[in-house]
Structures are given as C-alpha cells and as structure tokens.
Amino acid sequence: MNSIKNNLESIIASLPANHTVTLVAVSKFQAPELIKEAYNAGQRIFGESRVHELSDKVKILPADIKWHFIGHLQTNKISNLLRIPGLAMIESIDSFRLLELVDKEATKLNVLAHVLLEVHVAQETTKFGFETDELIEWFQNKGYCNLTSVHIHGLMGMASNTDDENRIQADFRKITECYNKIKRISTDLLGFDMLSMGMSGDYLIAIKEGANMIRIGSSIFGERGY
Ligand SMILES: *Cc1c(COP(=O)(O)O)cnc(C)c1O
C-alpha cells in the first residue's frame, strides 16, 4: 500500500513546473494520525468540511497548519468557525446571504475573514453555489464595496461528477471565464487571484484550465471512512 508521504510526493511531481499550484490536502473524515503523517511529510494546508470536526482537530494538531473550510457552512456555525485558530480560508461561500452574515460576524469578532466564492456550474442540481451570471452582475454593481470584514480572494468550483472529460473541461473553463471576467471588470478589487478547482479525479484538467489551487483528498489519504 502507498504511504501518505508517497502519495503526496507523486501528486506534487505530477504538477506542471511552469506555474505555482497550491495543494489543499482534504482531510475531512480522516483520522488526526493520518493528517499528522501528511504534516510530517511537509504538507501545511488542509481542508475540512464540518465546523465541529475541524474544531476538534485543531485542538490536537500542530498550530502552524493552515485550515481551509470547504463544506457548506450553516449560518448558525459561522461564529464558531471564525473563532477557530488556524482558519485561513473559507472556500465555500455559496450565497450572498452567507457572505453578508460572515461579514457581519467577522466585524463583531473584529477579525478579517478570507474567503472564496463558490461557483456552481456542475450538472448536479444538489450542489450549492453562485450562478456565474449573478456573480458577474454583483461584481459589476460593486457589491463587495459594502463588505467591511471580508476579503474575497477568488473563486472555488467543482466540475460535474462524470467520466466525460469534455464535460469536466467545459465546466472548469466556465469557472475560469467567470474568474477572468471578474478580474477584468473589478480593477479596484485587490488580491483577487485564487482559483480553486480540481479534486483527485480531475485536478490535471483543472490546472490545464487555469486552476492555481487544488483540493485533493482520496488520492492522498485513500478512501474516506464515512
Ligand atoms: C471532498 C472534497 C474534495 C476532495 O475530493 P477527493 O475526490 O477526495 O479528492 C475537494 N473539494 C471539496 C469541496 C470536497 O468536498
């Protein structure tokens, strides 16, 4: 069986040498000992999808880990999430209501929330996220000017859950187009430069389509213990 260290090394070796891609190791449902193994192999950024699980893990794992929240965030958990030391990024802001509530709560706590906006392009209807059109319109109207305690760093997205590589590529391309459009129309928006897309099965396609952040779980840790 491959070790976590070997898995990490082969993923890193598979990344193109000509541009920088940040690897988020998705450790949701994985035991802390396995996360420690990845940490000992040099990995410092981890992704979790549940606030309670994240807050338990933070207590027992090294303090220099940067945690990314990647799951659907329930509004009653916002405050708890923002209080977690080591929280570096909320990648899954999936509605304007959630964005506003995170801003409000961050203001109350006197912290700056670093976030990505989650775009929905996949064919599955159950996933959360913004439609590309509504997001572009919001940026055109400078909706972000009303935010005081949130820094929007970029976009996060997922491709359809399919074996059809053309469909996956088209999905990623749509997210990248949206990202580039926002950059073009929002010239006053500083530090909007992260495009998080690509998971174990499709990260190479995502990078080809412009991703500079990938979120990989099962290819590092093996199947999750759901
Ligand atoms: C679980 C998850 C991943 C990782 O998926 P793998 O297929 O295990 O690499 C990436 N992104 C999000 C949002 C996830 O929920």
Residues in the chain: 226
CB of residue 49 inside a 6 A radius of ligand 1: yes
- How high is the pLDDT of residue 125? 75
Three-class DSSP category at 142: coil
Residue 26, ligand 1, Cβ within 6 A? yes
122 Ramachandran zone, left/alpha/beta (phi>0; psi -120 to 50)? beta
- Does the beta carbon of 55 lie inside 6 Å of ligand 1? no
Q: How far is CA 176 from the centre of its chain?
A: 15
pLDDT confidence of residue 87: 98
- Is residue 112 within 8 A of residue 151, CB to CB? The reply is yes
- CA distance linking residue 28 with residue 189, whole number of Å: 32
Q: What is the pLDDT of residues 60-117, one digit of tens each?
A: 999 999 999 999 999 999 999 999 999 999 999 999 999 999 999 999 999 999 999 9
3-state secondary structure of 120: strand
Tell me the two tokens of residue 123: 């064919």
161 CB near ligand 1 (under 6 Å): no
pLDDT of residue 115: 98
CA dist 214 and 195 (Å) reads 8
Task: Please work out whether the CB of residue 27 comes within 6 Å of at least one atom of ligand 1.
Answer: no
Ligand 1 binding pocket mutation candidate from 14, 24, 70 (most atoms within 8 A of CB): 70
The pLDDT value recorded for residue 12 is: 96
Residue 126's pLDDT is what?
A: 61
| Residue 130 per-residue DSSP state | B
Tell me, what's the pLDDT at 61? 98
Q: pTM of the prediction?
A: 0.96
Q: Is 78 touching ligand 1 by the criterion CB < 6 Å?
A: no
Please indicate whether residue 159, judged by its CB atom, sits closer than 6 Å to ligand 1: no
User: What residue has token string 């709560």?
Assistant: 105
pLDDT of residue 110: 98
**Ligand 1 centroid distance, CA of 188 (Å):** 32
- C-alpha 27 – ligand 1 centre gap (Å): 9
Report which of 117, 112, 114 is spatially closest to residue 139, judged by C-alpha positions. Answer: 117
Residues of the chain with confidence (pLDDT) below 50 = none
d(CA 159, CA 170): 8
